Structure 1
Amino acid sequence: MNQFTVAETFVSINGEGVNAGALAVFIRFCGCNLSCSFCDTKWANQEDTPVQNMTAEQLVQYVQSTGIHRVTLTGGEPLLQPGIEELITALSALGYRVEIETNGSVPLESFASLSFRPSFTMDYKLPGSGMESHMLTDNFLLLNNKDTVKFVVGDTADLERAREVIRQYALTARCTVYLSPVFGSIEPAEIVDFLKEHTLNGVRLQLQLHKYIWDPQARGV
């Protein structure tokens, strides 16, 4: 029986993605294969991070105890957890709406072909992250109108690169597309000006709600 390495579980609102503002149960898994310059959950990827080893059955029981209908699997990188398909399927079969927050470097094919397909909020790491070389653009072909691609931008160079990728892969015709500022690095108004300047129809600005409602460093929110 698979055991998953869990950093924290909590109920809050989704801070980003198409379900921003909606209540969700969060399951945050430990471990990530990337090291982004702006990562705000590096604590969950440290070797000394306190963890709980939980089975799919235990996690399903926890979700059921909350009474919340949406579940967000996040990290770290949740899709690196061995056997995570078991948890996705178990939750989806019970009627939960499962959203996966994934970093864009993990192949999605096996997860997109599950009988109960989750929705994906997939990052594309821009140059400012230091991780763009790890991006798997083949994943774009697996996305649909239930999914999201999120570009976290820190400066003008990131904005220009995001525009190139959006156009090259016609992302706005495939899924929801967001530009989200690196908190404290770029003003949201600059992103709005960029959207206007380049007439980026179908691209949306999104702020990380949890960082405006609570302390930006707070956990469990």
Structure 2
Amino acid sequence: MNKYKVIEKFISINGEGSRAGQLSAFIRFNYCNLNCSYCDTKYANTVDASYELLTEQDILDYLNDNNVINVTLTGGEPLIQDNIDILINLLLENNYSVEIETNGSIDIKPFINKKRPIFTLDYKTPSSNMENKMYLNNYQYLTKNDVVKFVVGNYDDLNKTKEIINTYDLTNHAKVYLSPVFGMIEPSTIVDYMIKHQMNDVYMQLQMHKFIWDVNQRGV
């Protein structure tokens, strides 16, 4: 059995993405290869963060015990975990609907098989300070079940978002979501920008869990 560094596991609603509002089991892994300026899960990202070691069977047992169909693998960065492909395939084989929240810097092709997870793929806008880490070849592997998510904090981020959407024709290949950096930009500014630039087939979303619970609360 393989062992995975799990920061936390919990059942909640999905706060964002194509399954927002649906129940999901969250498995958050330790460590991220990026260091975004607006990251709200920095507690999971350092090599010395507190975690528990769980096997793929431990994780499967947890899901079976809680009887939740949707599973969100997140982090940190889930796709850099050793043997994560084995866990993904096990969950898919057991008929779980698996979503991978990935930061956009990791090649997703190795994780696409006959049965595949849903990818929620970030594009790190300029205010993240991580834009130069994006692996843009990923866009050729996306389907309409997948999401490309742009977290925006200012007008420059919005302009870059529009540029990337148009350059890669993203709305014809995946679902596209815009989300504000919490407390940095008014959601109405994003809506006004979408209207001005006729951004059809783009979704503006708020992180639902930050309106239900305290913005700093973990395990939700």
TM-score range normalised by the length of the shorter chain: over 0.9
User: Which residue number corresponds to residue 131 of structure 2?
Assistant: 132
Contact 2:10 2:25 (C-alpha < 8 Å) held by counterparts: yes
Contact 2:30 2:47 (C-alpha < 8 Å) held by counterparts: no
Q: CA deviation at 1:29?
A: 0.2
User: Which residue number corresponds to residue 76 of structure 1?
Assistant: 76
Contact 2:176 2:202 (C-alpha < 8 Å) held by counterparts: yes
Q: CA deviation at 1:94?
A: 1.0
Query: Separation in 1 of the partners of 2:115 and 2:2?
Result: 19
Q: How does 1:189-200 map to 2 (within 5 A)?
A: 189-200=188-199
User: Which residue number corresponds to residue 121 of structure 1?
Assistant: 120
Query: Separation in 2 of the partners of 1:69 and 1:179?
Result: 26
User: Which residue number corresponds to residue 184 of structure 1?
Assistant: 183
Find out whether 1:91 has 2:91 as its counterpart.
Answer: yes
Q: How does 1:142-161 map to 2 (within 5 A)?
A: 142-161=141-160
Listed one character per residue, the Cα deviations across residues 142-196 of structure 1 (whole Å, up to 9, x for unaligned) are 0001100000000000000000000000000001000000000000000000000
Q: Secondary structure at the match of 1:140?
A: helix
Q: Percent of pairs identical after alignment?
A: 51
Query: Separation in 2 of the partners of 1:80 and 1:59?
Result: 18
Q: CA deviation at 1:116?
A: 1.9
The amino acid that maps onto 2:207 is Q
User: Which residue number corresponds to residue 18 of structure 1?
Assistant: 18
TM-score, structure 2 normalization: 0.99
Q: How does 1:31-42 map to 2 (within 5 A)?
A: 31-42=31-42
Q: Secondary structure at the match of 2:198?
A: coil
User: Which residue number corresponds to residue 171 of structure 1?
Assistant: 170
Find out whether 1:212 has 2:180 as its counterpart.
Answer: no
The gaps in structure 1 that reach 5 residues or longer are none
Find out whether 1:109 has 2:109 as its counterpart.
Answer: yes
Query: Separation in 2 of the partners of 1:64 and 1:96?
Result: 10
Q: CA deviation at 1:197?
A: 0.2
Q: CA deviation at 1:115?
A: 2.9
Q: Secondary structure at the match of 2:149?
A: strand
Query: Separation in 2 of the partners of 1:94 and 1:54?
Result: 18
User: Which residue number corresponds to residue 6 of structure 1?
Assistant: 6
Query: Separation in 1 of the partners of 2:30 and 2:49?
Result: 8
Listed one character per residue, the Cα deviations across residues 184-216 of structure 1 (whole Å, up to 9, x for unaligned) are 000000000000000000111010001111001
The amino acid that maps onto 1:165 is I
Q: Secondary structure at the match of 2:36?
A: coil
The amino acid that maps onto 1:38 is Y
User: Which residue number corresponds to residue 46 of structure 2?
Assistant: 46
User: Which residue number corresponds to residue 61 of structure 1?
Assistant: 61
CA-atom RMSD, angstroms?
0.7
The amino acid that maps onto 1:199 is Q
The amino acid that maps onto 2:205 is Q
Listed one character per residue, the Cα deviations across residues 58-116 of structure 1 (whole Å, up to 9, x for unaligned) are 1000111101000000000000111111111111111110000000000001012x232
Query: Separation in 2 of the partners of 1:216 and 1:47?
Result: 24
Matched length = 220
The amino acid that maps onto 1:18 is S
TM-score, structure 1 normalization: 0.98
